[in-house]
Chains A and B, each alone.
Chain A
């Protein structure tokens, strides 16, 4: 408050407002947001004082980073659109990619088939399950087919590629075949966070925790040294929030995981100022609008502080909290499915105001099936509309200075830090996950949320309120063309016949030797094996034998 008389005016006005409010809403009560923070009807300078502007906010591109990680944010470069597209075979994927590249895309995303995630080749699983959710990439030849006519240099390639990172190995082998130097290869190992897979996305969880940790650190070291523009680390909060963690818990668990990864890399003798430049994050964006915005803003501030004070990095680059956001599929409903377009729009706005660097907007039919093409187009259009019709990229951090948003950002920060402290007390994220502490925390939150839905305390349009008889008809899902899958199976069998099986066997034995010797970079051996023709299934199979098969904790 600037002076005493202002202060008195403020207090008088607030008292008058309180009387009027209570008279009109005598039975009003405050709800708690998903993270458990009580939401009051009004926020004032008592909740956030603009005198703390420089301490709490400052300017984008510098400490304390609340307002964004770059000086120009979306005005300089809008977020990139990273849509997940499931296309069954490398040939089909390539056809789509060539169109996208011809239309000017500089970024592409590669989503493999579930069989690939599980570490199998297409000849190892029931053909019914092939290519239903993503592309069946098993070999360096498959990668080459995917990228036929697509330049690797200058293209930012996001690989959904869990440990042991076979897709990156295939990509690097493809670059070598084309004589593209590895320092021209850019992109992200989107699914490098094995801890989140162990906790909450078991499909991606291939190797035992200890083995996955070893391969992870080797892969970061290898990328830092040989593929310097590659982001080997994406710490994934999305899986945990999708599994039921509250937004504050998801942020806290993600930051705790990032600390664990940084500690592991430092323990290996790597330089935090170097490896932290290549850390990225991936978050869920729920429909709890202001809470999500506050989550991202608080997370950005906490991470930069952790980097400076705990991880010992000094550079500006290392403090940047680069993140991808995906709108939450958990909020979508099968009932009245077109309502999901409104939900995704709301979530996307929260992500944009939260300052994300890239975004995937869900298709409205994701709760009904794997997205159909028409629905996926609407999801992309949603981003275009928000950016170019609504001008949401025009002003940096436009909600800053709102008493509510700043107060909520501070409250979220407090909640997040409290959970991070709990994880630190449990011995860090690796231990907290291994022991099941995190899974239990998430399970409790998931059950609590479900109870709020079932009791009607949390409204869910079409589910527990505003239900309607009869359904809106939606496009039915087409399964992949069986003849294309058959053709692809033949391609794999030909590939296996034509390669030198002796050399492949030797390359797999090199993996075994590396597994036994911590001083050898095992990811370098994975790249070697990919180059000589070892398949995804063979590499994952050998490492599962030598480093242990990844079994999640089974608890319900």
Chain B
């Protein structure tokens, strides 16, 4: 099933509409270090005009929360290839404790079917699986950002 949301606006307009550029933290938690996915996604988001903060793998959950706060991001993107998604509920909890639960969280990578619920229940906004296209990913993240900033995109359409 493809859950594509079309990119709502072309790149430069997207930021004009938002007032200031969309900001996304692309990172990896846990033990794995495969980064083909996170690098590609970071490139997609940059091409779409977003500011991307890209980190080394193996970030501690506290570090992700702190960085999200300091960088004032709209979205945190977690890439996981080998099981590290199991730590995402801990990240969601830490964000709530830090009163940062307005930041959207998306997860991409190898997420077993029977564990998607675990992520959704913890408050993850979107899960991207292998085979997601550039448009799927950019479109969905753009919608999340617009929603988070108050959905005033419609004024400009």
Do A and B form a real pair?
yes
Residue numbers of A with Cβ under 8 A of B are 114-115, 117-118, 120, 125-126, 128-129, 132-133, 200-205, 242-244, 330, 332-335, 366-370, 443, 446-447, 450-451, 453-454, 460, 462-464, 467, 469-471, 474, 476-477, 551-552, 554-556
Q: Mark B11-48, 1 if CB is under 8 A from A, else 0.
A: 00000000000000010001111111011101100100
What is the predominant secondary structure among interface residues of chain A facing chain B? Answer: loop
B35: nearest residue on chain A (CB-CB)? A202
CA distance in complex: A366, B134 (Å) = 22
Q: Is the CB of A370 within 8 A of B31?
A: no
Nearest Cβ in chain A — how far from B127, in angstroms?
A: 11
B86 touches A118 (CB 8 A): no
Contact A203 to B34, CB < 8 A, known contacts A333-B130, A370-B82: yes
> Is B49 an interface residue when CB atoms closer than 8 A count as contact?
no
CA distance A132 to B35 in the complex (A): 19
Question: Can you list 18 pairs linking A and B with CB atoms under 8 Å apart?
Answer: A114-B82, A114-B83, A125-B31, A200-B36, A201-B34, A203-B31, A203-B32, A203-B34, A243-B35, A333-B130, A334-B131, A369-B113, A446-B40, A447-B43, A467-B2, A552-B56, A556-B42, A556-B52
Q: Contacts A133-B82, A556-B42 given; indicate if A368 touches B87 (C-beta within 8 A).
A: no
**Contact between chains at A242 and B36 (CB < 8 Å):** yes
B36 touches A446 (CB 8 A): yes
Residue numbers in B under 8 Å from A454 (CB-CB): 133-135
- B36's contact among A204, A244, A464, by CB below 8 Å, is which? A244
- Chain A residues contacting B110 (CB-CB under 8 Å) are 366-369
A556-B26, A556-B43, A556-B54 given as contacts; is B86 within 8 A of A129 (CB)?
A: yes
Q: Decide: A554 and B115 in contact? CB cutoff 8 A.
A: no
B61 nearest CB across to chain A (Å): 9
Known: A118-B58, A556-B42. 6 other contacts (CB 8 A): A117-B31, A203-B57, A242-B36, A366-B110, A369-B110, A552-B56
Give B57 Cβ to nearest chain A Cβ, in Å. 5
The reply to whether the CB of B93 lies closer than 8 angstroms to some CB of chain A is no
Neighbouring A residues of B40 by C-beta, 8 Å: 446-447, 450
Chain A residue with Cβ nearest B55: A554
A190 to chain B, nearest CB (A): 17
Task: Determine if B114 is an interface residue (Cβ-Cβ < 8 Å).
Answer: yes
| B82 and A203 contact, CB distance less than 8 A | yes
- In the bound complex, do residue A477 and residue B114 qualify as a contact, i.e. CB atoms below 8 Å apart? yes
* Shortest Cβ distance from residue A313 to the other chain B in the assembled complex, whole angstroms: 34
- B120-131 vs A, CB cutoff 8 Å, 1 = contact: the mask equals 000000000111
* Nearest CB of chain B from residue A369's CB, rounded to whole Å: 4
Given contacts A118-B31, A447-B43, contact A460 B112 (CB under 8 A): no
| Distance from A446 Cβ to chain B, minimum over Cβ atoms (Å) | 6
A221 to B34, CA, bound (A): 30
User: Are B112 and A477 interface neighbours, CB within 8 A?
Assistant: yes
Q: Are A450 and B33 in contact (CB under 8 A)?
A: no
**A451 partner residues in chain B, CB cutoff 8 A:** 134
Q: Tell me the smallest distance from the CB of B7 to a CB of chain A, in Å.
A: 12
A113 to B34, CA, bound (A): 15
Is B51's beta carbon under 8 Å from chain A?
A: no
Q: Is the CB of B130 within 8 A of A471?
A: no
Cβ contacts under 8 Å, A554 to chain B? 54-56
Cβ 8 A contact of A128, one of B2, B34, B86, B131? B86
Residues of B contacting A469 in the complex (Cβ-Cβ under 8 angstroms):
1
CA distance A367 to B82 in the complex (A): 11
Beta-carbon contact of B52 and A450 below 8 Å: no
B82: shortest Cβ distance to chain A, in Å? 5
Which residue, of B30, B35, B87, has the highest number of chain A Cβ atoms within 10 A?
A: B35
Cβ of A127 to closest chain B Cβ, rounded Å:
10
Residue in A366, A463, A474, A477 whose CB lies within 8 Å of B131: A463
- Chain A residues within an 8 Å CB radius of B1: 469-471
| Smallest beta-carbon distance A10→chain B, Å | 46
Residue of A whose beta carbon sits closest to that of B61:
A126
CB distance from B42 to the nearest CB of A (A): 4
Given contacts A203-B82, A454-B135, A551-B56, contact A114 B32 (CB under 8 A): yes
Q: Residue on B with the closest CB to A204?
A: B33
Q: Which residues in A have their C-beta under 8 angstroms from that of B115?
A: 477
CA distance A268 to B35 in the complex (A): 34
